[in-house]
């Protein structure tokens, strides 16, 4: 695997244990749900190479996803659907997905580290961490789990709607995705509250 400078465990050391790291993926795409992951690492078995999922290759992310699941880490996922995104707005839907991920953990965290500047209301100590996926091992682990899970979900949806290329673009507004969208219109999995879909009278396919 590529040698990448990895985050550390300093933030976790100042928290009430057990500590859950939380991150999301899918705030920006035109299609698909927003997905969040919560991870409580096993301090005695942390896989080497954890880093912000965005700086890892797909194969590295998938390798680390398996390693994390074998390490004894507690892992859970939470999602907010496209209808929820369109109804609530993407920020509120993201916080909802995060809360669902945390509440689905098999053990209750003593504290939570959330990537970014905003966090859902939780019944435990909660801290936001700007650039958390490159600073906290727990958040980095969550970013990897969330990214792998959402990429797999969009690949499965791509089998039903192959022309949109979701197996490659994960629903993001690439030039190819926008071109197909303009020609064929949106699917039920497109976020109608997002530009360029908002205020367009287009029937779903």
Domain boundaries, the chain: 10-153
Contacts of 27 (CB under 8 A, 6+ apart): 34, 90, 94
Q: Which pLDDT value is given to residue 198?
A: 84
Contact between residue 97 and residue 36 where contact means Cβ atoms under 8 Å apart: yes
Q: Which pLDDT value is given to residue 70?
A: 98
What is the SS3 assignment for 34? Answer: strand
- From the CB of residue 100, how many other CB atoms can be counted at a distance below 10 Å? 18
| pTM for this model (two decimals) | 0.94
Contacts of 125 (CB under 8 A, 6+ apart): 15, 16, 110, 111, 112
Per-residue pLDDT of the chain (205 residues), as tens digits, is 444 457 999 999 999 999 999 999 999 999 999 999 999 999 999 999 999 999 999 999 999 999 999 999 999 999 999 999 999 999 999 999 999 999 999 999 999 999 999 999 999 999 999 999 999 999 999 999 999 999 999 999 999 999 999 999 999 999 999 999 999 999 999 999 998 788 664 555 5
CATH architecture of 10-153: 2-Layer Sandwich (3.30)
């Amino acid at each position: 695997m590529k040698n990448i400078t990895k985050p550390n465990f300093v933030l976790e050391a100042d928290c009430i244990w057990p500590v859950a790291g939380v991150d999301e993926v899918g705030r920006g795409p035109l299609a698909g749900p927003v997905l969040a992951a919560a991870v409580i690492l096993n301090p005695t078995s942390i896989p080497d190479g954890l880093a912000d999922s965005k700086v890892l290759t797909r194969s590295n992310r998938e390798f680390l996803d398996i390693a994390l699941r074998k390490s004894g880490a507690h892992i859970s996922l939470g999602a907010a659907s496209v209808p929820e995104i369109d109804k609530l707005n993407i920020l509120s839907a993201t916080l909802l997905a995060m809360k669902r991920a945390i509440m689905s953990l098999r053990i209750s965290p003593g504290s939570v580290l959330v990537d970014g500047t905003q966090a859902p209301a939780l019944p435990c100590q909660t801290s936001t961490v700007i650039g958390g996926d490159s600073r906290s091992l727990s958040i980095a682990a969550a970013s990897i789990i969330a990214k792998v899970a959402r990429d797999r979900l969009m690949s499965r949806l791509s089998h039903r709607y192959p022309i949109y290329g979701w197996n490659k673009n994960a629903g993001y507004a690439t030039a190819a995705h926008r071109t197909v969208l303009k020609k064929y219109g949106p699917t039920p999995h497109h976020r109608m509250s997002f530009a360029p879909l908002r205020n367009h009278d287009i029937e779903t396919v």
